[in-house]
Amino acid sequence: MTTPAPTGLRYPWPDPPAHGEHIEVAPGVLWFRLPLPMKLDHVNVYALDDGDGWTVIDTGFNSRKTREIWQSMMQGPLADKPIARVVVTHHHPDHVGLAGWLQSEFGAELVTTRTAWLFARMLTLDVQEVPVLETLAFWRSAGMDPATFDKRAAERPFNFGDIVAPMPLGFTRIQQGQTIVMGGRTWDIHMGNGHAPEHATFWSRDDHLVISGDQILSSISPNVGVYATEPMADPIGDWLEACERLRPLAREDHLVLGGHKLPFTGLPTRMRQLIDNHHGALERLLAYIETPKAASECFAPLFKRSIGEGEYGLALVEAVAHLSHLYQDGQATRTLREDGAWLYQRKG
């Protein structure tokens, strides 16, 4: 009689490696952790042994400290062969930040999706000293707190170019349905969406490994937000579609190597949680907007905790995303307030 596999999330390594050190999570697959200067204070990167070189997955920010850690890794655990490829799961700066440096300084090949490369290269070239008019209008439309608006309108905004190394021309494109050979394994490529457009995930055909970037994380749900770049985007719809599409691939024995937090098993449970979490948030939000609300007034039902200044921007774009999804799905209406903020209200 076969004993059924246990359900629920399990963490084979309760503690992450120290900066510059590694844990071998599978033969020829090394897990490293790099620091980030924010509340989510780390990003996971992985190195896969290709025999004559290393393939590394994601890179961390472009900072002196992170470059020094990479140098120590290349003089230590990765010293026996060069970094031949850097695979970037998606365009966010904690994942693509040093890809250009690894290309230009060490001759690595950059492998990523076309959307990730275009977004990253475009954003590194788009450096602003103060927020542009379109960004200010978007903040108004979200009902940003006036004091926060005035403060941020006068400050230098977040710029990719400040924490992402210049990206030289040239990359190798990967697409949905392709395979890639890394670390002596053949991996199926499946695209996620929502957190980032055309977000690559990798599913090993030869063992139980999944490299998930930020599309699937163990104990947090990645930020899913709308920005001034595409104010009528529906990343919540994209997120739910991607999760439902990836869900049938999940097995209990999959070891998921995410971009943050700890590697885990129990992927079917986690996929269900990720989907249910957003459906639950939408249900709470729909009940909350029985009377008209701006996005900035909807943090309580969405996050169920207080939001500090450092989290305000991410909370605001996620609130916009959820409200806009309800509006575009026909479950809510919206009207423009005199100050330029959209007010959303449940239909009926």
Over residues 287-335, the pLDDT tens digits come to 999 999 999 999 999 998 888 888 999 999 999 999 999 999 999 999 9
Could you tell me if residue 3 is inside a domain? no
% of the chain beyond a pLDDT of 70: 98
Q: For residue 55, what are the β-bridge partners?
A: 48, 85
Q: What is the largest CA-CA distance in the chain?
A: 69
Examine residue 312 and state whether it is found in any structural domain, yes or no. no
Residue 47, exposed/middle/buried by CB under 10 A (0-12, 13-18, 19+)?
buried
d(CA 91, CA 94): 9
Q: Tell me: the pLDDT tens digits for 55-110?
A: 999 999 999 999 999 999 999 999 999 999 999 999 999 999 999 999 999 999 99
Q: Give the mean pLDDT of 216-232.
A: 95
On average, the pLDDT of the chain sits at 95
Mean pLDDT of 40-45: 96
CATH code assigned at 210: 3.60.15.10
Whether pLDDT at 1 is above 60: no
Residue 62 and residue 129 in contact, taking contact as beta carbons nearer than 8 Å: no
Neighbours of 139 (CB within 10 A): 24
Task: Let me know if 170 is exposed, middle or buried by CB neighbors in 10 A (0-12, 13-18, 19+).
Answer: exposed
Tell me if 90 sits within 8 A of 199, measured CB to CB: yes
Average of pLDDT values for 176-191?
A: 98
Q: Which domain holds residue 214?
A: 23-128+159-289
Who wins on pLDDT, 3 or 237? 237
pLDDT tier for residue 5 given thresholds of 50, 70 and 90? very low
**Nearest-angstrom CA–CA distance, 285 and 301:** 6
- Would 193 be classed as within a structural domain? yes
Taking the CB of residue 342, how many other CB atoms lie within 10 A of it?
Answer: 21
**46 with 58: CB under 8 angstroms?**
yes
- Number of structural domains found in the chain: 1
pLDDT tens string 127-172: 999 999 999 999 999 999 999 999 999 999 999 999 999 999 999 9
> What's the confidence (pLDDT) of residue 306?
85
- Whole-number pLDDT of residue 4: 43
176 within a domain of the structure (yes/no): yes
In a domain, 245, yes or no: yes
99 located within any domain: yes
Whether 108 is in a domain gets the answer: yes
pLDDT for residue 3: 36
Residue 347 lies in a domain: no
Per the rule left: phi > 0, alpha: psi between -120 and 50, beta: everything else, 65 is: alpha
